[in-house]
């Protein structure tokens, strides 16, 4: 059986070209996948922070932290292995800072308490390639902050005279 040297040379050349192309293409695809994971993680963190702030702004200011923590716990439960460790910066920031005391002072006659509540969340994202390039394997941390206005009406519980 005789082999044509030109055919072997062309076959070897196309194999080398394929390997060189894959050496460039595979890391590029992995980095693009990691960047997509990071973008999705940041969007999920922003959405979770917005939902936690909205939940904290609805209802009694004394229980705002519990409502916001429940939203963050639900996001943690639904997160995948790459998007985990949603944390809520505690305590929540109220403006004015005396909101809870003002609401307690209105008991038993009632009244309105208004202000804003600020919630901060952080998320750790563990993509495949990017953390090893930038942070030596540590997860990437992203923080989000949302401020929502609230108005709470304290019920009149004073006995009728």
- 124-143 confidence digits (pLDDT tens): 888 777 767 766 777 888 99
* Number of domains forming the structure of the chain: 1
Residue 82 domain-assigned (yes or no): yes
DSSP one-letter code for 81: S
CA distances from 98 to 3, 84, 88, 95, 108 (A): 89, 33, 21, 8, 18
Q: Which of residues 49 and 1 earns the better pLDDT score? A: 49
Neighbours of 46 (CB within 10 A): 16
Residue 7 has pLDDT above 60, yes or no: no
- Structural domain includes residue 147: yes
Asked whether residue 39 is assigned to any structural domain, the reply reads: yes
Residue 77 domain-assigned?
yes
Residue 95 has pLDDT above 80, yes or no: yes
Is 61 a domain residue? yes
Residue 160 resides in a domain: no
Report CA dihedral (93, 97, 98, 99) to the nearest 10 degrees: -40
List the domain range (segments joined by +) for residue 95. Answer: 5-154
Q: How many CB atoms lie within 10 A of CB 82?
A: 16
Q: Where does the pLDDT of residue 66 fall: very low under 50, low under 70, confident under 90, or very high at 90 and above? A: very high
List, as own/partner pairs, every contact residues 3-7 make where C-beta atoms lie below 8 angstroms and the sequence separation is at least 24, other chains included: none
Q: Is residue 161 part of a domain?
A: no
Q: Is there a domain that residue 159 lies in?
A: no
Scored b (16 or more CB within 10 A) or e, 105-135 reads ebeeeeeebebebbbbbbbbbbbeebbeeee
What is the C-alpha to C-alpha distance for residues 154 and 119, in angstroms, rounded to an integer?
A: 23
pTM for this one?
0.79
């Amino acid at each position: 059986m005789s082999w044509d040297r030109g055919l072997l040379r062309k076959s070897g050349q196309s194999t080398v070209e394929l390997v060189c192309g894959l050496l460039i293409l595979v890391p590029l695809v992995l980095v693009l996948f990691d960047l997509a994971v990071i973008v999705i993680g940041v969007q999920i963190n922003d959405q979770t922070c917005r939902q936690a702030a909205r939940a904290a702004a609805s209802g009694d200011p004394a229980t705002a932290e519990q409502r916001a923590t429940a939203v963050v716990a639900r996001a943690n439960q639904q997160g995948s292995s790459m998007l985990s460790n949603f944390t809520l910066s505690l305590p929540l920031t109220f403006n004015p800072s005396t909101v809870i005391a003002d609401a307690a002072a209105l008991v038993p006659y009632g009244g309105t308490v208004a202000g804003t509540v600020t919630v901060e969340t952080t998320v750790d994202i563990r993509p495949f390639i990017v953390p090893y390039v930038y942070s030596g394997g540590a997860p990437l941390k992203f923080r989000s902050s949302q401020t929502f206005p609230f108005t709470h009406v304290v019920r009149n519980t004073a006995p009728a005279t």
